[in-house]
Homo-oligomer: A and B are copies of this chain.
Amino acid sequence: MATELYDLTAPVFTRGLKALSAILDKAVAHAEETGADAESYLALRLAPDMHPLSKQVQIACDGSKLCVARLSGVDAPVNEDSETTIVELQARIASTLDFIGSVPRDAIDGQEERDVVLKFPGGEWPFKGQGYVVGFALPNVFFHLSTAYGLLRQAGVPIGKRDFLGVPG
């Protein structure tokens, strides 16, 4: 039967982003319980030259959004990365989920051989659709979801692996 490209992307990103949203809710609750400033979590970084939590959330959203857009050919909404609060980041996640949900399965299934060329400051990374999903989009989104989770674990937010994995659907 094999796995259709839609099943490898849209529902996987949706589950991951919903899990991220729930984790951010737990972070807010933890801050309230401990008297911490939840917004201060957004500046946390694992290393001085790594992105802070706010950017990890933005990249997790963009990685998901752009994968769905590149495979389907549907234009993705433009985001300015201007979010500075958890409420704004939750809205960013919600709008990303809306976009993913708006793209129909038949726009993604069958795009395994579609050319997807990623452009970096140092050059280009040419993929076909399938290799892009398996070799870049999924690892990249999971990287940023994991890093966001790790930052909040490091800040003491009581979350566990089940929070990261989300609810299988």
Contacts from A to B (Cβ < 8 Å): 1-5, 7-8, 11-12, 15-16, 46-47, 50, 109-110, 112-113, 125, 127, 130-131, 134-136, 138-140, 142-143, 146-147, 149-150, 153-154, 156, 161, 164-165, 168-169
Contact = CB atoms under 8 A, between A and B. Distances in A.
The residue in A47, A109, A149 that gathers the most chain B C-beta atoms within 10 A of its C-beta is: A47
Secondary structure of the A contact surface, majority rule: helix
A146 B3 CA distance: 25
A139 B142 contact: yes
Contacts of A147: 146, 150
Given A2-B3, A2-B4, A143-B164, A46 B130 contact: no
Q: Top 10 closest A-B pairs, CB basis?
A: A146-B146, A2-B2, A142-B142, A135-B168, A47-B153, A46-B154, A3-B3, A143-B146, A46-B150, A1-B112
A47 B143 CA distance: 18
A135 B156 CA distance: 26
Contact of A168 (B1, B136, B149, B164): B136
B112 A3 contact: yes
A5 to B, nearest CB: 7
A8 B139 contact: no
A41 B13 CA distance: 32
Contacts of A46: 46, 150, 153-154
A159 to B, nearest CB: 10
